Chain A
Amino acid sequence: DSGVTQTPKHLITATGQRVTLRCSPRSGDLSVYWYQQSLDQGLQFLIQYYNGEERAKGNILERFSAQQFPDLHSELNLSSLELGDSALYFCASRGVDEKLFFGSGTQLSVL
């Protein structure tokens, strides 16, 4: 167990809908990273937050957004969903040990 908690584990929704994925980092970790894993693109960095502030953006679509709350949990919001958004979405946290630990992911299926 990495200590990073993601909910829900599975999410099935329809095109055009909006969903929210939730992540609780390891206790004490201030940095949260979101990654997308798809069959054709592999694991891709989406966005990073540090202590509530956005630090870096990767290959994140404009339809996607995220935030980190004062209690350090983070949410990834995906809107106007398309079939191609179906993927595994991972959250990772990093602490003073500088290692990135991943949660078990949310499997998103857009039908």
Chain B
Amino acid sequence: GESVGLHLPTLSVQEGDNSIINCAYSNSASDYFIWYKQESGKGPQFIIDIRSNMDKRQGQRVTVLLNKTVKHLSLQIAATQPGDSAVYFCAENPRGAGSYQLTFGKGTKLSVIP
């Protein structure tokens, strides 16, 4: 029979526009959150991280926002480029300091329209 694969949410954006990818995490005890980018045939690539004592962190063209009240994480990509096309995963560290046994979200596929 046909296997049911993981249905990924997809976000399509025009090149040059800003992208916002959202993630709901599950464990209120998680103290560390990371966004990863995965291109086809490659492993997850670290983008940006944030600790639970912060609500915003900026990198180069990327910003991560953390709302612990509603257990929500978002990744904002400014001036999205074709090279940003990939699957983006949020990950949380639910077991506290030192563990890094990350729990990954199911991912969002970002498609950039040239």
B-contacting residues of A (Cβ < 8 Å)?
2, 4, 31, 33, 39-45, 48, 56, 58, 90, 92, 94, 98-105
Contacting residues, chain A, for B95 (C-beta < 8 A) = 56
Interface contact B42-A33, CB-CB below 8 Å = no
Contacting residues, chain A, for B3 (C-beta < 8 A) = 39-40
Contacting residues, chain A, for B101 (C-beta < 8 A) = 33, 45, 48, 56, 58
Q: How many A-B residue pairs have CB under 8 A?
A: 56
Interface contact B5-A42, CB-CB below 8 Å = no
Assembly CA distance A4 to B45 (angstroms): 11
Nearest-CB residue, chain A, relative to B95: A56
Chain A contact residues, majority secondary structure: strand
Interface contact B99-A42, CB-CB below 8 Å = no
Nearest-CB residue, chain B, relative to A84: B3
Considering only residues 9-30 of chain B, those with a C-beta below 8 Å from chain A are none
Assembly CA distance A42 to B107 (angstroms): 8
Candidates B43, B91, B102; contact of A103 at CB < 8 Å:
B43
Known: A39-B5, A40-B5, A40-B6. A94 touches B45 (CB 8 A): no
Interface contact B44-A90, CB-CB below 8 Å = yes
Q: Is B70 an interface residue when CB atoms closer than 8 A count as contact?
A: no
Nearest-CB residue, chain B, relative to A58: B101
